[in-house]
Structure 1
Amino acid sequence: MPITSDILRGHTETIILSHLIKKDSYGYEINKSIQEKTDNQYELKEATLYTAFRRLEQAGLITSYWGDETTGARRRYYAITDLGRSAYLQNKADWENAKNLIDKLI
């Protein structure tokens, strides 16, 4: 059964940063990874994903660049910045704290 997006709302940017901590990537690859990790129970809508990319880039948490693919469409890659790494670590700590509190409450 697919997970309701309400449960994960507000964590989209942290999910993206988590993927980018491992390697530079592009939108389709990130969304495919999310689907695989959740056994197809969760995926980001394209508009949500690219809106999050814009917010993250404007905040200086990621940068983007065009790939040099020789076949197919050119891809826009995203890379995490040092500020993005710090934000990810803080968001992850905040999530762990919230998760512990929720576990106590329900």
Structure 2
Amino acid sequence: MAISKDLIRGHIDTIILNILNQSDSYGYQVGKSARILSQNQYDLNEATLYTAFRRLEKSGDITSYWGDETQGARRKYYKITPAGQAHLTHAIAEWAFAKNVISQLITGTIAEGEES
């Protein structure tokens, strides 16, 4: 079963921040890391990835710099900022709360006498 892109859409920034919180990285590698983390269940396409990089850089959550490649093309690397780390911490807390609420809404039952 493949995961719906609609379910992931609102979490792209958090996914990228999590990956960059582990180490600075460049676009292709961030996409590859997302595939690895999802056990090949999700593919972060290039257009979505670079749109998110621009948004995160504009908001101050990440910065970019050019790598010093000795072979091949020069790569643009992305690095999480302290503001990005704070954003990530907040997003993880929000996700944990939302995950529990959504789970209850989808699978929970109302016990007799609980109606309001």
Runs of 4+ in structure 1 off by over 4 angstroms are none
Task: Calculate percent identity across the aligned residue pairs.
Answer: 58
* Mean CA deviation greater in 38-47 or 8-17: 38-47
Question: Partners in 1 of 2:39 and 2:24 — Cα distance?
Answer: 23
Correspondences of 1:36-75 after superposition (within 5 Å): 36-75=36-75
Query: What is the TM-score of this pair, normalised by structure 2?
Result: 0.89
Partner of 2:96: 96
Deviation at 1:2, TM superposition (A): 2.1
How many pairs align? 106
Work out whether residues 26 and 77 of structure 1, in 8 Å CA contact, stay in contact via their aligned partners in 2. yes
Kindly report which structure 2 residues correspond to 1:9-20, keeping only aligned pairs within 5 A, or say none.
9-20=9-20
Rg (Cα) greater in structure: 2
Gaps of 5+ in 1: none
RMSD: 0.7
Q: Normalized against structure 1, the TM-score is what? A: 0.97
Higher relative contact order by CA 8 Å / sep ≥ 6: 1 or 2? 1
